Chains A and B, each alone.
Chain A
Amino acid sequence: MIAPPSAPAGKSGRPTGPPPTALRLRSWSLRLSPRGLVTGTAIAVLGLAVSLVALSVGEFTVPIRDIVAALFGEGPPVAELIVNRLRAPRIVTGLLVGAAFGLSGAIFQSLTRNPLGSPDFVGLTSGAATGGIAAVVLGGSAWQIAGASLAGCVAGALAVYALAFQRGVQGYRLILVGIGVNALLISADWYMLTRADISDAATAGAWITGSLGGRGWEHAIPVACAMAVLLPACAWLSRPLRMMEMGDDSARAMGVRVEPVRAAAIAVGVLLCGVATAATGPVIFVAMAAPQLARRISRSPGVTLVISALTGATLLVGADLAAQRLFAPVQLPVGIMTAAIGGVYLVFLLRRERR
């Protein structure tokens, strides 16, 4: 008997991971890949570590042991105020929003089978931005701005979907139409900004960069509630979505109801992006980069939802920490940090794919 050849290096030099194993209990079974498990845990630990550091450092440094005490309500009053009232809600918002962007990006990249099929490019983020700016210019409250950006995100998605629809929606059309709608929305943004009152324009300008500054529990809790509904939907969608990566015919032949699954996935992806944008403003690039990074780190085929969510959460909180500390005492909005990293990463990605 000839031994199977050892796993050779892949096309881009990546070795293929060990075969997946299963966790079984009676008639139940869960499929787990050891590498996915290890990387997922590693990213989660990294995310927690970054969060702890973010809880600790700042204008006022809180020692780690005081953080733990404060979280359990037994720390010094100053530490409790800083940790529980100021930093924790900001970080929790960041983790949730990052996870939502990561998931939304993973869903859209999986549907379009293209990294450029991210919410940032198919009209969702810009729809949310336009909605938000309109609300600022019309003098809306914080809640109205959040609501308008969620509505703008859904409207942008509907416009792209309707314009791209032709006997079903194909990935490539979705991207091209999305880019067109994006351009239209950006021109609308600039029109409003040039016509707006200077202080409104400044507020709107700050809002569209996307920021975690001043985020409290009132921001974190709505996002958490939305995630409680959307996460199970993602779990249900992940397996049929994976089948659809092999083409609609293959998926249909395997018993996937392609059109309903696609519609549900688009709805969930839009809501994730919309809720996240409503909380922080359009933080670009997380939705594009998180699934790509996740895929490269976990070396799993196709797009992975869980690892994308973990990566998005870690990325956003990490970028926010960097934005706060890198040029301290000047605090940058996290959107500027992600946009800067995003540009560099996108070029890196494209150069790599070209080869």
Chain B
Amino acid sequence: MRLYGTGLTLSYDKRVVARDLDVTIPDGSFTVIIGPNACGKSTMLRALARMLKPRAGAVHLDGSVITSLPSKEVARRLGLLPQSSIVPDGITVADLVGRGRYPHQRMMRQWSREDEAAVAAAMESTDVTELADRCVDELSGGQRQRVWLAMALAQETPILLLDEPTTFLDIAHQIEVLDLCADLHEQGRTLVAVLHDLNQACRYATHLIVMRDGRIVAEGDPSTIVTTDLVREVFELRCEIIEDPQSGTPLIVPETRRRAPVRT
């Protein structure tokens, strides 16, 4: 396995989020991490992306402790789309995507032909080529997220981590971004995403990691691990599980106290 963590204790200052956590990302998978709010899913992703130094334990990338590798070297193998990034004032789409080439560049090699090709390919696959000369701050939320994805793609890393890539997007754009992620996975990348929506997670994940209170409660193929018991245990939600008519994956239908909406 290229990316895994062992014995991770993760904390922000004094507040410990997870203790003695082991996690493995299967090579070539589309791994989705899911769990209720404050279960530590984003924290774990940040640790895997070496944004957060574990208090104990270590994250390993290609057999080395990730913090012992040069940071640009890591950035050529593992990319991260953070939950929120700042758009520099007045930057164009092409410029922003071009910044994804940073780990491949040096002071005396600022813009090689490979850089140019990688940026063109990244914009093509996220369908933002036509927006190349537009200012990023005038784009819609969905377009903007595609541009950030393009930047992460231009980095050309075999492993890509995504921290809640669909937050702040409306449902149509959520599906658009997730479909795009599935395409990227099909092209051979290992993807790891933190998502909020259990149904979307079931639909897109090839490997699902379910977390609660800083522990991994279940992991594996969504169709085999997602049960009514698991949903009740993790989310404290009673539900029915049916087959997603589109994808054949589990579809969670929450129970309600009411039988039908009361109209007055």
Report A's interface with B, CB cutoff 8 A: 2, 4-8, 10-11, 14, 16-17, 19-20, 22, 24, 27-31, 113, 167, 235-236, 239, 242-243, 245-247, 249-250, 252-257, 295, 299-302
Evaluate contact between A27 and B109: CB separation under 8 angstroms.
yes
Apart from the given pairs A11-B138, A17-B92, A235-B107, 8 other A-B contacts in the complex at a CB distance below 8 Å? A7-B134, A22-B116, A29-B109, A167-B13, A245-B86, A247-B86, A250-B86, A302-B88
- Which of A2, A14, A28, A254 is close to B75, meaning CB atoms less than 8 Å apart? A254
- Which of A5, A31, A295, A300 is close to B110, meaning CB atoms less than 8 Å apart? A31
Report B's interface with A, CB cutoff 8 A: 13, 49-51, 70-76, 79-92, 94-95, 98-100, 102-103, 105, 107-113, 116, 129-130, 132-135, 137-138, 152, 155
| Min CB–CB distance A36 → chain B (angstroms) | 12
Q: How far is the CA of A246 from the CA of B82 in the complex (A)?
A: 10
The 9 closest A-B pairs by CB, nearest first: A255-B75, A301-B91, A255-B72, A249-B82, A22-B111, A253-B80, A31-B111, A31-B110, A302-B88
Evaluate contact between A254 and B92: CB separation under 8 angstroms.
no
- A236 contact set on B, CB distance < 8 A: 107
- A252 contact set on B, CB distance < 8 A: 50-51, 71
- B91 contact set on A, CB distance < 8 A: 301-302
| Min CB–CB distance A171 → chain B (angstroms) | 10
Evaluate contact between A247 and B138: CB separation under 8 angstroms.
no
- A4 contact set on B, CB distance < 8 A: 129-130, 132-133
Question: Which residue of chain B has its CB nearest to the CB of A33?
Answer: B95
Evaluate contact between A7 and B133: CB separation under 8 angstroms.
yes
Evaluate contact between B102 and A254: CB separation under 8 angstroms.
yes
Question: Which residue of chain B has its CB nearest to the CB of A238?
Answer: B107
Q: How far is the CA of A301 from the CA of B112 in the complex (A)?
A: 21
Evaluate contact between A28 and B109: CB separation under 8 angstroms.
yes
- B86 contact set on A, CB distance < 8 A: 113, 245-247, 250
- B73 contact set on A, CB distance < 8 A: 255
Q: How far is the CA of A246 from the CA of B81 in the complex (A)?
A: 12
- A113 contact set on B, CB distance < 8 A: 86
Evaluate contact between B80 and A255: CB separation under 8 angstroms.
no
13 A-B contacts, Cβ less than 8 Å apart?
A4-B133, A14-B90, A19-B94, A236-B107, A246-B99, A249-B51, A250-B82, A255-B70, A255-B71, A255-B73, A256-B102, A301-B88, A301-B89
Evaluate contact between B133 and A255: CB separation under 8 angstroms.
no
| Min CB–CB distance A287 → chain B (angstroms) | 19
Q: How far is the CA of A216 from the CA of B133 in the complex (A)?
A: 49
Evaluate contact between B111 and A255: CB separation under 8 angstroms.
no
| Min CB–CB distance A14 → chain B (angstroms) | 7
Evaluate contact between A253 and B72: CB separation under 8 angstroms.
no
- B51 contact set on A, CB distance < 8 A: 249, 252-253
Knowing A16-B135, A29-B112, A247-B84, the reply to whether A255 touches B90 (Cβ < 8 A) is no
- B135 contact set on A, CB distance < 8 A: 10-11, 16
| Min CB–CB distance A183 → chain B (angstroms) | 29
Evaluate contact between B112 and A24: CB separation under 8 angstroms.
yes
- A301 contact set on B, CB distance < 8 A: 88-92, 95
Knowing A4-B133, A27-B109, the reply to whether A299 touches B102 (Cβ < 8 A) is no
Q: How far is the CA of A10 from the CA of B88 in the complex (A)?
A: 13
Q: How far is the CA of A252 from the CA of B87 in the complex (A)?
A: 16
Question: Which residue of chain A has its CB nearest to the CB of B87?
Answer: A246
| Min CB–CB distance B229 → chain A (angstroms) | 36
Q: How far is the CA of A133 from the CA of B187 in the complex (A)?
A: 66
Q: How far is the CA of A256 from the CA of B85 in the complex (A)?
A: 15
Knowing A28-B109, A254-B75, the reply to whether A239 touches B102 (Cβ < 8 A) is yes
| Min CB–CB distance A25 → chain B (angstroms) | 10
- B72 contact set on A, CB distance < 8 A: 255
| Min CB–CB distance A141 → chain B (angstroms) | 41
